[in-house]
Amino acid sequence: MAKVRLGLVGKPNAGKSTLFSAITSRAAEIGSYPFTTIKPNIGLGFIETKCPDTEIGTTCNPREGSCSGGIRQIPIEIIDVPGLIEGASQGKGMGNEFLENVRESEALLLVFDASGKTALDGTPVEERIDPNAEIDMIKGEITKWMVARLSKGWEKFASREEATNQHPAASLLRKLSMSGINEQALLSALSAGGFPLRLSIWKEEDFTRFSEMFLARFKPLILLGNKVDAADPETIDRIRAKHPDTIFTSGDFELALSRAVQAGLAEVSKRHISPSARASEPQRKALARVQEVISLPYYASPEAIMTDVVRERLERIAVYPVQDESKWTDSQGNVLPDCFMVRKGTTAIDLAFRVHSDIGEGFIRAIDCRRKMVISRDHELKDSDVISIVSRSR
Ligand SMILES: Nc1nc2c(ncn2[C@@H]2O[C@H](COP(=O)(O)OP(=O)(O)OP(=O)(O)O)[C@@H](O)[C@H]2O)c(=O)[nH]1
Ligand SMILES: [Mg+2]
């Protein structure tokens, strides 16, 4: 099952691996020096959603993720990669090869140091730098990576593609080999941007303009200001003034909190921390400070980040394909085995293809299992829909 995949990108020491560990509950190597991470880490985060199983009085059998008390945990794939520095597109630092790992991501989470206490290359500094400069630097490097990717071997590619009489959108899609982008959308972007349809006459400025347009449209970049525990209000204000959509968090405090809970030093309910009797005075003080930071009005927990990114920014809805329209099971009797986080606007036929290309090709009709009604192939699905697809290939 294709999960939503999110890539964490940012300069060295921004706290990507710390956040990765907080989101996925998996330990990644964390260090106070640049380039701690040299190989990508892959793990799962989860978003919570109300499971339809309660409506039919059974317990579901999720193939992936889990469900308890009618609350389903839907897995989201997270990738943590090495830090990116200025000049990475010319091979500086770890080079930009690793960005290839986030190519298949639906969105890039740009993790930056909102405290401004590390320089652009990740080394700690005494005087705060403006985090907006860090955001610009990373955005610039991502665009340069895309330009480099696009222009590599362009002449040969353009003359070969022109000879096949393919539409340029199809050719570009193949060259970019990025998932989740459809030809129609790329085609409309090409014509809206006034790009030459003859690929062989593309110039440097077309590569840059195309890369910027492509990233803005197809690879949303979501700003994640980390280390708010060490930030001052002026710096936060400066970031929010320029980038009001920024999500703020503290990977470090989230990890500390989950470790405290694991060690039995505290319990957390609805983000309220209750220290246990075992907690020492310094531990209580530390937990009180964590409570203060996580209660900041603009603060987001790892769970809130996942939900905001997937549901709001990427506009995904949860749909449950099943075979048996009354029992909501697959052919083996598993109740609600799958939950797909699909784009808003996904239709019944899109879902059929998502389940399997054969199911899509053999599509006969779809049934809205809750309303027990046949829906047309172009019917737009809603959040939490349970859909049975009748196909010749079943
Ligand atoms: N104060 C504070 N420090 C943090 C936070 N998150 C991470 N750090 C610290 O920042 C340093 C870098 O953390 P990492 O998670 O290794 O950073 P990274 O972005 O993965 O770094 P590279 O792998 O080198 O690119 C470590 O010393 C962390 O403890 C945070 O929320 N607050
Ligand atoms: Mg790291």
The per-residue DSSP string of 7-71 comes to EEE-STTSSHHHHHHHHHS------SSS----S-EEEEEEEEEE-GGGGGTS----SSSEEETTE
Atom of ligand 1 nearest to the CA of 83: 25
Residue 82: predicted pLDDT = 87
Reduced to 3 states (helix: H, G, I; strand: E, B; else coil), residue 391 is strand
Residue 37: predicted pLDDT = 82
Cα–ligand 2 centroid distance for 30 (angstroms): 6
The CA distance from 257 to 261, in Å, is: 6
Cα–ligand 2 centroid distance for 83 (angstroms): 7
Structure tokens at 1: 């099952």
Hey, which residues does 269 pair with through a beta bridge?
272
Write the DSSP string, 205-242.
Answer: HHHHHHHHHHHHHHS-EEEEEE-GGG--HHHHHHHHHH
- Pocket probe for ligand 1: among 8, 9, 11, 13, the residue whose CB has the most ligand atoms within 8 Å is 13
Cα–ligand 2 centroid distance for 253 (angstroms): 17
* Protein residue closest via CA to atom 24 of ligand 1: 35
The CA distance from 273 to 362, in Å, is: 53
Per-residue tens of pLDDT for the chain, all 394 residues? 579 999 999 999 999 999 999 999 877 888 888 888 888 889 999 999 999 999 999 999 999 999 999 999 999 999 998 888 888 777 777 666 667 777 788 999 999 999 999 999 999 999 999 999 999 999 999 998 889 888 889 999 999 988 888 888 888 888 887 767 788 888 888 889 999 989 999 999 999 999 999 999 888 999 999 999 999 999 999 999 999 999 999 999 999 999 999 999 999 999 999 999 999 999 999 999 999 999 999 999 999 999 999 999 999 999 999 999 999 999 999 999 999 999 999 999 999 999 999 999 999 999 999 999 999 999 999 999 999 999 997 5
Q: Which ligand is nearest to the CA of 230?
A: 1
- Pocket probe for ligand 1: among 19, 21, 30, 134, the residue whose CB has the most ligand atoms within 8 Å is 30
Pocket, ligand 1, Cβ cutoff 6 A: 10, 12-18, 30-32, 34-37, 82-83, 226-227, 229-230, 250-252
- Pocket probe for ligand 1: among 11, 18, 125, the residue whose CB has the most ligand atoms within 8 Å is 18
Cα–ligand 2 centroid distance for 11 (angstroms): 9
The CA distance from 192 to 248, in Å, is: 34
Cα–ligand 1 centroid distance for 253 (angstroms): 11
Q: Which ligand is nearest to the CA of 34?
A: 1
Domains of the chain, earliest start first: 1-40+81-250+299-314 (1.10.8.470), 316-391 (3.10.20.30)
Cα–ligand 2 centroid distance for 81 (angstroms): 6
Calculate the CA 387 to chain-centre distance. Answer: 25
Residue 94: predicted pLDDT = 67
Residue 88: predicted pLDDT = 79
**Protein residues with C-beta less than 5 angstroms from the ion ligand 2:** 16-17, 36-37
Q: Quickly tell me which residue has 């839907």 as its tokens.
A: 74
Atom of ligand 1 nearest to the CA of 84: 25
Choose among 178, 246, 187, 174: nearest CA to 218. 178
pLDDT digits (tens, 9 = 90+) for 72-108: 999 999 999 888 888 877 777 766 666 777 778 899 9
What sign results for the dihedral spanned by CA atoms 205, 185, 312, 227? negative
